[in-house]
Structure 1
């Protein structure tokens, strides 16, 4: 299945599941409150399939799978026969209308917990938060290759995904963090990571790398694929050699080589022609060669740098997972609730930061990004796709509860005002609110599409 077809298919599956649950929440509570439901539609536009039940509700699957709706008997929608007035939505007490409207987001919240429970029972494989290489402010703070992150402030870290989420949160707030790590000898240390020292403007999707933390599973092995003809390494190093050290400094990944070579090139000895000792593992046998780095010019940028003349592996297999979050059916219940709470707190915190300018609005994503992530997580397995569905379901619940007319949160705002005021808002006021809500929603959707397209282009 191509990425394009896979993205479209898995987005349809994801939205179909989430919209169905959301609208079922409205439908189920409306029926319990005695409201007549005229139509339950998954999707918009032309009906591809429909069926009417004994209560007169038409169930529809429509052509455009980007949403759905529940249409109820309501005098605001048209004339209602006198004998049907007791079953009209607008004739119900305000607390029942609140319950019906709130039921959609609540259904998504319940679904989020259920999906996370299923994910933990299946077992979500991931990578441990183990460092592969360290530089920048992380190196200055004492972090070492092989350190495994156990805790950041009060957050326990089980995987690198956990670490990225927590680090991003504190980085956006420019807050230094206390990090508990376990080194390669098994000893535990507490180190201070000064995230307040990050540049004024930084890529919010790449906080760990900017702080100088690179993960072990993302390391490119220091294995030579080829040597450049006429380079310092030509005739000495062979394809398949793994560099293990340069002048006594251990090399863990290919990215470690260039800084060491630049450092050696910057010394007086290298300028005078002295060689550096390069240690390699060749088919299990250790070899050491004296190699003199050469000054090389980048043909694209024109900048000069020191080089050995070796190329990294061009094709790499993904590193095997070394961490898994799995619980029994009973133990997974409280874990799912805690994870839902943590995800909700992070999502609300990101919205707050975007509103206050502490986070970029580039974090707003639209259907193109959703489709890509749906396809990517589906490829990674059932547990990852369940996690994606849970996150999307929670996001749908939060967005729908925003106090924007047109959304469920806007209607809830109207009804809360009605409770305080003692009477419904005027039709003119509600109509004005609807126009404002449509404008805000259109702006939000436009921003999401813009960000999606910008990501694809760049």
Structure 2
């Protein structure tokens, strides 16, 4: 409890420090040019603490979401015909006011160039920028990526952690993204064509996980892993009979895959762990979380037997399978599970019946060709052009009696042409309809099931795996060089992000607001002080860029007004300025609503 409070206080102090430095830039510049500063505030709203000195009210205000410097003689403080005092801001030459308005941004950018080297000097922990998991058929998979590849740079930009990889891919050219990787002792380039996933460009990779367990504590009662006696830092050795590092179906299993296979078995988890040099065994039963209010579903996906992509030896012209082939049968029996295909591939040649362009043809794979399945060079996906389904564990259809390979032929008496037609029919059905009559075919049998749609159960075992981390611990020269590189790169990526937001290449739902900033800052403080500094340096760059946007009430908007004044040759009217400030305020409030809505969605997700 005390540690959580300390981390929260450290995060709040860090954010407040950046705001203080931004406003200090305005304050010092204003004082240097003889402008009278009436208020220097950290936060907005009611004054809760502070002091007065030399005519300035230094205050801490109630809402700690920003800050401001109130200078005498700002627009709105005087009438158009009023004679200005020498200490008024509006009495100063345009070039002096330009420096005053831009000083906060300059300080924020300069601060990043100071904080980054300090963070690298202390040693910053990052998630290892290596490929831990490849999405079959994803961009990196198609480019020839392999699990274990260490990513050194993306599009020529050095990456320090896995977080950088996702950002570089999202901002890069989706038609030509270059991952420079280290594979063993050899460096090579992977040229990606990125995929659009959730309004951003994605490489289809996930970071590596160590075998060390992270055991969650329940707020009101212990979670399954905690009840079973597992502890943070236990090293996973095996789960439900599969060992970490074991060669299984032609590949070596990592901790994440071992744990995931145990979770999807639908059985209790039987885990073997190492603790203080001893091997210990634990059994735990995952529990269903409350899913009330979740989206009601039938609980079925199309059978995953369509060839989505091929690579390596499987992409050769003489390989019996082609993209969009649908594997209908294996050795004369319907193919209901990808695992059956892998088991058969281990044993030798394969005899398949496939559907290609509405024709059924026979395909034979030699023992050598079958190895392409085991090596992961054939990516299978759901076939939405057919009606064969895989009921989801614990879903409504499974509970009603549906089995893998059943064919959905109708919904509420209406015939269905394919799985896509099922999705369309469900989308167009009235939201109050929760029970559907589903027509199924199973072999020669046809029958109806009354299925009550409900949210899928979310099973929780209270376990996670600690990510693989690396620490950049550099000497003085290395810290300065890395800090300079990180600072300039932060400037570039922030500018690119803003540009892509305006063009729509990056969706607005990717924006985070005060809640996200506070949460990430807190998590950084929780991890490591150097990590907190690193994030604050990035946040300082973002704060500078946001303030330079040409929106009235922001520094950038004030600079635009100065340019207009220069062109006009006289002060802008008080009425115009008041209206412009109102428009700017509305724009900022609208942006705050959007980012806060995004934060709330992330929180409840």
Q: TM-score band (shorter)?
A: 0.7 to 0.9
Counterpart contact for 1:164–1:207, Cα < 8 Å: yes
* Matched residue SS, 1:318: strand
Q: How does 1:84-123 map to 2 (within 5 A)?
A: 85-123=85-123
Q: Which residue of 2 aligns with 1:346?
A: 493
Indicate how the Cα distance of structure 1 residues 3 and 420 shifts in structure 2: closer, same or farther if over 3 A, else same: farther
Q: How does 1:204-219 map to 2 (within 5 A)?
A: 204=200, 207-208=202-203, 211=204, 213-217=205-209
Counterpart contact for 1:47–1:63, Cα < 8 Å: yes
Aligned-pair CA distance for 1:314 = 5.8
Q: How does 1:198-209 map to 2 (within 5 A)?
A: 198-199=195-196, 201-202=197-198, 204=200, 207-208=202-203
Task: Check if 1:145 corresponds to 2:155.
Answer: no
Q: For 1:449 and 1:7, locate their aligned partners in 2 and report how far apart those are by CA, in whole Å.
A: 23
Task: Check if 1:432 corresponds to 2:446.
Answer: no
Q: Deviations over 1:369-420 (max 9, x none)?
A: 1111111111111111111211221111111111111111111101111122
Q: For 2:550 and 2:38, locate their aligned partners in 1 and report how far apart those are by CA, in whole Å.
A: 26
Task: Check if 1:73 corresponds to 2:148.
Answer: no
Q: For 1:399 and 1:96, locate their aligned partners in 2 and report how far apart those are by CA, in whole Å.
A: 22
Q: Which residue of 2 aligns with 1:287?
A: none
Task: Check if 1:300 corresponds to 2:395.
Answer: yes
Q: Which residue of 1 aligns with 2:446?
A: none
Task: Check if 1:373 corresponds to 2:520.
Answer: yes
Q: For 1:312 and 1:4, locate their aligned partners in 2 and report how far apart those are by CA, in whole Å.
A: 24
Aligned-pair CA distance for 1:8 = 5.6
Larger radius of gyration: 2
Q: Which residue of 2 aligns with 1:168?
A: 170
Q: Deviations over 1:149-170 (max 9, x none)?
A: 2232322334323322212222
- Which structure: greater helix fraction? 1
Q: For 2:493 and 2:207, locate their aligned partners in 1 and report how far apart those are by CA, in whole Å.
A: 23
- Which blocks of at least 5 consecutive residues in structure 1 are unaligned? 228-236, 273-294
* Matched residue SS, 1:131: coil
Q: Which residue of 2 aligns with 1:318?
A: 466
Give me the TM-score of the superposition, normalised by structure 2.
Answer: 0.60
Indicate how the Cα distance of structure 1 residues 26 and 247 shifts in structure 2: closer, same or farther if over 3 A, else same: closer
Q: For 1:203 and 1:224, locate their aligned partners in 2 and report how far apart those are by CA, in whole Å.
A: 37
Task: Check if 1:50 corresponds to 2:50.
Answer: yes
Counterpart contact for 2:84–2:90, Cα < 8 Å: no
- Which structure: greater strand fraction? 2
Q: For 2:209 and 2:151, locate their aligned partners in 1 and report how far apart those are by CA, in whole Å.
A: 14
What CA RMSD, in Å, does the superposition of the two structures yield over aligned residues? Answer: 3.4
Q: Which residue of 1 aligns with 2:532?
A: 385
Task: Check if 1:266 corresponds to 2:267.
Answer: no
Task: Check if 1:452 corresponds to 2:599.
Answer: yes
Indicate how the Cα distance of structure 1 residues 451 and 317 shifts in structure 2: closer, same or farther if over 3 A, else same: closer
Task: Check if 1:136 corresponds to 2:118.
Answer: no
Task: Check if 1:224 corresponds to 2:238.
Answer: yes
Give me the TM-score of the superposition, normalised by structure 1.
Answer: 0.78
Aligned-pair CA distance for 1:10 = 4.6
Aligned-pair CA distance for 1:245 = 1.7
Task: Check if 1:423 corresponds to 2:570.
Answer: yes
Aligned-pair CA distance for 1:30 = 0.7
* Matched residue SS, 1:335: helix
Counterpart contact for 2:207–2:467, Cα < 8 Å: no
Task: Check if 1:443 corresponds to 2:596.
Answer: no
Q: How many residues align?
A: 404
Q: For 2:569 and 2:545, locate their aligned partners in 1 and report how far apart those are by CA, in whole Å.
A: 28
Aligned-pair CA distance for 1:24 = 0.6
Q: For 1:73 and 1:255, locate their aligned partners in 2 and report how far apart those are by CA, in whole Å.
A: 64
Aligned-pair CA distance for 1:450 = 1.0
Indicate how the Cα distance of structure 1 residues 69 and 190 shifts in structure 2: closer, same or farther if over 3 A, else same: closer
- Which blocks of at least 5 consecutive residues in structure 2 are unaligned? 213-234, 262-303, 305-335, 348-389, 406-458
Indicate how the Cα distance of structure 1 residues 269 and 8 shifts in structure 2: closer, same or farther if over 3 A, else same: closer
Counterpart contact for 1:365–1:452, Cα < 8 Å: yes
Q: Which residue of 1 aligns with 2:379?
A: none
Counterpart contact for 1:297–1:305, Cα < 8 Å: no
Counterpart contact for 2:38–2:71, Cα < 8 Å: yes
Counterpart contact for 1:297–1:304, Cα < 8 Å: no
Q: For 1:65 and 1:361, locate their aligned partners in 2 and report how far apart those are by CA, in whole Å.
A: 24
